[in-house]
Amino acid sequence: MASTIDLEIAQKTPLAPIEAIAAKLGIPEGVLFRYGHTKAKIDLGWLKKTPPRKHPKLILVTAINPTAAGEGKTTTTIGLGDALTLIGKKTVIALREPSLGPCFGMKGGATGGGYAQVGPMEDINLHFTGDFHAITAAHNLLAALLDNHMYWGNALNIDTRKINLKRAMDMNDRALRQTIVGLGNNGIPREDGFDITVASEVMAIFCLAKDSDDLKARLDKMVIAQKQGGGVVTAADIKATGAMAALLKDAINPNLVQTLEGTPAFIHGGPFANIAHGCNSVIATNAALKLGDYVVTEAGFGADLGAEKFLDIKCRQSGLKPDAAVVVATIRALKLHGGVSKTDLNREDTDAVKCGLTNLQRHVENMKKYGLPVVVAINHFSSDTQAEGKVVIDACIDMGVPVHMCTHWGEGGKGAKALAETVVKLAEGGTANFKPIYEESLSLKDKIKTIAQTIYRAKDVAIDAKAEKKLEQFEKDGYGKLSICIAKTQYSFSSDPALMGAPENFVFPIRDVRLSAGAGFVVALAGDIMTMPGLPREPAAEKIGVNMDGKIFGLF
């Protein structure tokens, strides 16, 4: 978790005018939609007309399974981007927008840390350019139109017991997981609930759409309910997508900001990786590839979640092909996977590091299965000892992967220079041979099983009987070629957050499945994972405020 030092650094480091950052990428001022002095949207029409660049390199930053505090994957992504700029590469960073849920819940801010940050930090972590509000409004407009259709006679003969669409809000609120709507003669009383906005299918569509036309086509395909006697009801059926697209008209333009060292960064879209597909928008990634020679992007949480979905969902749908993967590890997280309690992570324990290395090794093996060259970045903490670092470095040498101890938190790009040089060597070596882990021709059940057995190392998958029937119906309705988006805990390869290290031969439980036809995937919910998180006992919100000078405090 970031500290007050991060906030102090962010507030004391001057940012360049956004026009100057745009000029680095050849973006004319006339296509900037400014939100103040240091952030802007880029006209999507101009981006579509911009010719593709010759052989840009796409670098994926992923990580081992984290501790509850997170291990600095975003910080490493930013530090690597600054380091690539430092060694003379025209670099663009592509990140997700933070959700208000974790900002006010457990995690705090999500704009990096130390001298490896993007800014303006407070804006990005709070309302930014309003994208999340627009997505929330579009989602809830669809829900309102659905209930309104049933109120005025239900001409589509919708089965009120088989409505797939919940409502959404961008805040952790467990009390809204299950609700009753339509009371007091205000519609048809029925069970409903809320998902957090980052789990909304509208968010997934927003992030996977290639342009505005693709966005509207995907919104049309959203399956929101079933008819009595069979058949699905889509957003197009209730004539919702035009108004939804109108709400998203400005949001679909990608957001341009900068690092503290002036490296351009696109921050656009923000699905969670534990309950959604965990990647920034395809539009922003493609824009970065048109404007830079090196694009550094990240996928949420560990590689078993974010990277798997980036590669099997986002890359499959968009045609993106990464040139190298960076697996971020911290010695403290390795000690956690080696059996050390959270309260003792600052104490030297080389034996625990050795034991926890199985988690790192598993993630490296998995990335290689996708045909990607891999480098390990050790995100250095002040509590790390030389002996612990040597254990990790020796293990990486034994695995045959390059490894670097990175100090970008305290030194910015300079602290990740060696990592950047290795990334360039890997990316330009031509050894990447990317291929998704499963074929789209497999049945939905076999896709789930392939992910569980190949990536998680499960012995088998146990799918609830009702969920299995849903999968069969999805295939009968023509959705059998969709990808799989598994929702599970980020803390373990398994569905059990307490199962550390690299467990294997366990049974992976799927309790429910949800169809996201517009997004192009089926969500498979494993174990106790919730699509509307709750707040912790002591929410971060309790320590956030505004001082007499109008400066926000406590956001980190």
- Catalytic entry in 381, 462, 511, 553: 381
| Residue that has been written with the tokens 């999968």 in this structure | 471
Active site includes 96? Answer: yes
Burial label, 547 (beta-carbon count in 10 A; 0-12, 13-18, 19+): exposed
Active site includes 409? Answer: yes
Q: Where are the alpha helices (DSSP H) in 63-211?
A: 73-86, 100-104, 121-125, 131-151, 201-208
| Contact indicator for 101, 198 with CB cutoff of 8 Å | yes
Question: Could you tell me the two tokens for 75?
Answer: 């910080």
- Catalytic entry in 96, 167, 362, 417: 96
| Contact indicator for 330, 405 with CB cutoff of 8 Å | no
Burial label, 522 (beta-carbon count in 10 A; 0-12, 13-18, 19+): buried
Concatenated DSSP letters of 454-487: III--SEEEE-HHHHHHHHHHHHTT-TT-EEEEE
- Catalytic entry in 57, 73, 90, 514: 73
Question: Could you tell me the two tokens for 123?
Answer: 């804006």
- Catalytic entry in 206, 310, 409, 508: 409
Handedness of CA 303, 73, 299, 531 (dihedral sign): positive
Q: How many CB atoms lie within 10 A of CB 61?
A: 28
- Catalytic entry in 89, 90, 107, 447: 107
CA 10 from centre of chain: 23
Q: Where are the alpha helices (DSSP H) in 274-429?
A: 282-291, 308-309, 315-318, 331-337, 350-369, 386-399, 408-411, 417-427
- Catalytic entry in 116, 209, 265, 273: 273
| 3-state secondary structure (DSSP) of residue 176 | helix
Active site includes 273? Answer: yes
| Rounded CA separation 288/254 (Å) | 10
Of the candidates 250, 231, 233, 221, the residue with the CA atom closest to the CA atom of residue 145: 233
- Catalytic entry in 38, 62, 75, 259: 75
Any idea what DSSP says for residue 305? I
Buried b / exposed e along 208-238 (16+ C-beta atoms within 10 A): bbbbbebbbbbbbbbbbbbeeeeebbbbbbb
| Rounded CA separation 244/556 (Å) | 34
Active site includes 301? Answer: yes
Active site includes 265? Answer: no
Q: Where are the alpha helices (DSSP H) in 231-300?
A: 241-247, 282-291
Strands 294-298, 91-95: pairing kind? parallel
| Contact indicator for 394, 54 with CB cutoff of 8 Å | no
Q: Where are the alpha helices (DSSP H) in 234-349?
A: 241-247, 282-291, 308-309, 315-318, 331-337
Active site includes 75? Answer: yes
**φ, ψ for residue 93 (rounded to 5)?**
-100, 140
Termini Cα distance of the chain:
8
| Contact indicator for 274, 305 with CB cutoff of 8 Å | yes
Active site includes 335? Answer: no
E-strand stretches of 142-186: 158-163, 167-169, 179-181
- Catalytic entry in 104, 194, 266, 301: 301
Active site includes 324? Answer: no
**Which residues are marked as active site?**
73, 75, 96, 107, 273, 301, 381, 409
